[in-house]
């Protein structure tokens, strides 16, 4: 079966509907901050409290989520998977969704909360990682993929600061 | 989903009309960044969605609906 075209709006709408606590990170975070980059998956860091995992699992059921990259089986995520600090790479009816227990050198939802901004899209109030922190995390990771996007993120931050009338 | 009517600037036209190259020292096209910053977060998300659809369409993976 062909993979669905990513529809980040609908993914975010479903997560919001179930009141899941999460922070948008990765490429979509960059785009929301104004970086001209392309990505095919939605990366989020979710709160791993018991209550939030229950809400997240309900949202994932509605999204028909399953682990991607496993050819013949559609293994569905369970609470144990979501409580891990690791990364759960899922396919959903609205495209790929990566649930990250932690990012970088072990940053959790609670750690990142103070480094996030709230934005409004339609009726949704969403939390996105600040551009400064996104750059810091990607610098920490230092993979080729992360290094490739860093000049665009840094330039976007510079342009935003210019707009705010700040000089770095 | 509503289409974004705002179009990205054409860097070639800009470099012809404005003295100086619209690239940062690291080679990033700043005209695209400035265009994205002129949009709201919701519009930026729609641009991303349209970009993905157009790429997949070129690959033959999605219909123009």
In a mutagenesis test of the B interface, which of A95, A148, A149, A155 is the best target, namely the one with the most B β-carbons within 10 Å?
A155
Q: Do the chains contact at B45 and A34, CB–CB below 8 Å?
A: no
| List of long-range contacts for B26-29, beta carbons under 8 Å, 24+ apart | B26/A151, B26/A154, B26/A155, B27/A151, B28/A151, B28/A152, B28/A155, B29/A36
Tell me if A128 is assigned to some domain.
yes
Secondary element (H or E) of residue A51: helix A50-62
Residue A2 lies inside a defined structural domain of this protein: no
Q: Interface pTM (ipTM) of the complex?
A: 0.89
Residue A163 lies in a domain: no
- The answer as to whether A167 is a domain residue is no
Q: How many CB pairs under 8 A join A and B?
A: 72
Q: Does a structural domain hold residue A3?
A: no
Domain encompassing residue A57: 8-156
Are the beta carbons of B30 and A122 separated by less than 8 Å?
Answer: no
| Domains of chain B by residue range | 30-59
CB A82 within 8 A of CB A21: no
Cross-strand pairs, A103: A107
Total domains present in chain A: 1
Q: Please say whether the beta carbons of A65 and A88 come within 8 A.
A: no
**pLDDT, averaged in runs of 10, over chain A (168 residues):** 83 98 98 96 98 98 93 88 96 97 96 97 96 96 91 97 76
A7 and B49 within 8 Å at the Cβ level: the answer is: yes
The answer to whether residue A24 is domain-embedded is yes
Please name the helix (run of DSSP H) or strand (run of DSSP E) that holds residue A116, with its range, or none: strand A116-121
């Amino acid at each position: 079966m062909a993979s669905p075209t990513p529809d980040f709006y609908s993914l975010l709408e479903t997560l919001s509907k179930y009141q899941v606590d999460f922070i948008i990170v990765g490429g979509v975070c960059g785009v929301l901050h104004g970086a001209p980059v392309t990505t095919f998956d939605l990366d989020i860091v979710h709160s791993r409290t018991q209550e939030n995992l229950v809400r997240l699992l309900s949202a994932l059921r509605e999204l028909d989520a399953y682990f991607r990259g496993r050819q013949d089986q559609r293994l569905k995520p369970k609470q144990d998977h979501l409580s891990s600090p690791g990364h759960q790479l899922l396919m959903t009816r609205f495209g790929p969704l990566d649930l990250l227990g932690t990012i970088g050198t072990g940053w959790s939802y609670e750690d990142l909360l103070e480094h996030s901004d709230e934005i409004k899209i339609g009726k949704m109030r969403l939390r996105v990682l600040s551009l400064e922190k996104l750059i810091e995390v990607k610098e920490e990771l230092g993979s080729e993929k992360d290094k490739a996007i860093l000049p665009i993120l840094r330039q976007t931050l510079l342009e935003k600061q210019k707009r705010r009338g700040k000089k770095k | 989903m509503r289409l974004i009517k705002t179009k990205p600037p054409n860097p070639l036209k800009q470099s012809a009309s404005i003295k100086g190259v619209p690239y940062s020292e690291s080679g990033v096209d700043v005209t695209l960044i400035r265009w994205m910053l002129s949009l709201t977060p919701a519009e930026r998300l729609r641009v991303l969605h349209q970009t993905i659809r157009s790429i997949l369409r070129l690959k033959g993976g999605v219909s123009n609906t």
